[in-house]
Amino acid sequence: MSTSPLINQTNLRFLLHKVFPMEKLCTYPRFAEHEVSTFEAVMEAAHDLAMEKFLPHNRKSDSHEPEFDKGSVKIIPEVKAALDAYAEAGFPAAFADSEDGGMQLPFSISLACDALFASANVSTMGYAMLARGVANLLKAHGTAEQREKYMLPILQGRFLGTMCLSEPQAGSSLGDIKTIATPHADGTYRISGSKMWISGGEHDLSENIVHMVLAKIPGGPAGVKGISLFIVPKFLVKEDGGLGERNDVQLAGVNHKLGQRGIVNTFLKFGERDNCVGYLVGPQHQGLSQMFHMMNEARIGVGVGAIMLGTAGYLHSLEYAIERKQGRHPEQKDPASPPVALIEHADVRRMLLQQKSYTEGALALAFYSAQLIDVRDNDPDADKVREAKLLLELITPILKAWSGEWCCKANDLAIQILGGYGYTREYPVEQFYRDNRLNPIHEGANGIQALDLLGRKVLLENGAALALMQKQIEADIAKAKEFQNLKSHADDLAEALMLVGKTTQVLVMQMQAGNIRLSLANAAYYLNMMGHVSIAWMWLKQAVVANECLEKTEAEKEFHHGKLQTCRFFFTYELPQIKTQAALLQKMDDTTLSMPMEAF
């Protein structure tokens, strides 16, 4: 990879060779036939394809968004060309088993490829990521016949897919969905209802679309306990794998969005002619737990998408700040003196450091999460598998929500650096911001992630997940204390960790005492606190490795010094924010709850 607008390649190598060494993945039997050179070749191919087929139409797909035309959708041809090239290169099956025609790559390497495609064009990549999520869901919960008919064509790049959860009247409150699945004599179901906000819900980009639909079977339990999961294909699939007649799934409308306009977002109606055929996945009334297999994967994908949009904005604003000459230093009194580059100005440097600290810190957390998935799925040690599962439960909402909020903030800062130019369509930073603004909303809004983190995840197995995370952070604190220049950061993170523990204890005790609503009222602050501590942890981890690299070699000296300086920035300017958040949370303030509705 040459100099790239998609990612800092030196940073990618640093993360995958030094911080989370990918050679360790080759010790697992599943990846034993691979070598590090294989992983590097795959990432190189992903980068080249992203540059050649995904990046060039990113702007065009934003300005020429999908159009609703007589019940179908018109999409610019470059999107299909990119997805066809993606399929031809084998990327739909990058993570899949070799017996299914897959590359059988580690999740960590698959995530690195996803990051490159998302940075180039997050909308077009959205089609591919949704389809892979369907394939992985069917691999885990589908029958052999369902995998043959629907999963394999997705892995071959012939079919795409969706997840159909939300409904117009229910939104994220899935217990209130009204879509019905009525049993049919032949063992299939007839689906009736509507779904809103369905990305990739209608198009001609693939031979078929595999909708994964949540619905309720009459007579089942109320609320979320009565939800089942169904395959509802756009076209019915014959026994020989050929396509049959079109299923009774109708496009009712296209939603016009602020950003990520290149991936169509739809309103779908099922069973308008009382003949929408659905196929039950797994047992009845277990649909939500099964769908979480796809949702959790999607939440990691949302986090990565947010990080890469933030990264794209950072790289563009950095280039602009280096090239743009404007203004002079305060002590330069001569108006005839030449203007200096924007990057010479302290406030611009602050904004660049903020972006760098958010995006590179979050990318490290994403690769840490990917490493956990590889351990969970492949390690022979049952204790390590259990620990990886617990940590993933805790970190997934943090990765999704913190990255969604703070990497969007990074895009805001990129616009600010470009000034008036950044606010115009002549430069891409305004699109990066619009595209990223979706990420705090979809796949479970950030407020829902906060409620999940505080109300459920920190309580898992009597706090085992949080205790395990604290133990790992403490181990990295001990390593950092071996370096004189990191001791103060290590002490600050130790203090922050104690603050998290104390705050969590106060909130959990209040919940156990019955003050659940008040305890959760400020859950968003809790998630931000946990997120900042997690990112500080990732920065300390990177700083330790950067110090070790500086001791061993002069190579990439400036890069490693940059890591140390950005770590210093995050600990000095960002981490202290958690003290205010912790004080507020421990106070159990009821201002928001006690505000009369009439007074708003």
For residue 29, the number of C-alpha atoms closer than 13 Å in the C-beta half-sphere is: 4
d(CA 51, CA 544): 33
Residue written as tokens 């201002």? 591
Nearest to 393 by CA among 443, 306, 463, 440: 463
Spatial distance between the Cα atoms of 361 and 366, rounded to a whole number of angstroms: 9
Check if the beta carbon of residue 56 is closer than 8 Å to that of residue 93.
no
Q: State how far the Cα of 65 lies from the Cα of 484, in Å rounded to an integer.
A: 54
Helices and strands, counts by H and E, the chain: 20, 12
Q: Catalytic site residue 443?
A: yes
How many CB atoms sit inside 10 A of residue 409's CB? 16
Q: Quick one: which H or E segment has residue 474?
A: helix 464-480
3-state SS, residue 228: strand
**Residues facing residue 268 across a β-bridge:** 195, 251
Cα–Cα dist 364/483, whole Å: 21
Annotated active-site residue in 443, 474, 558, 574: 443
Q: What is d(CA 500, CA 466) in angstroms, rounded to the nearest whole number? A: 10
Report the DSSP pairing between strands 159-164 and 208-216: parallel
Q: Are 9 and 1 in contact (CB under 8 A)?
A: yes
Instruction: Output the six-digit token pair for 107.
Output: 């999740």
Q: Using the Cα atoms of residue 425, residue 427, residue 429 and residue 431 in order, give the sign of their dihedral.
A: positive
- Strand (E) or helix (H) holding 232: strand 227-233
Known catalytic residues? 443
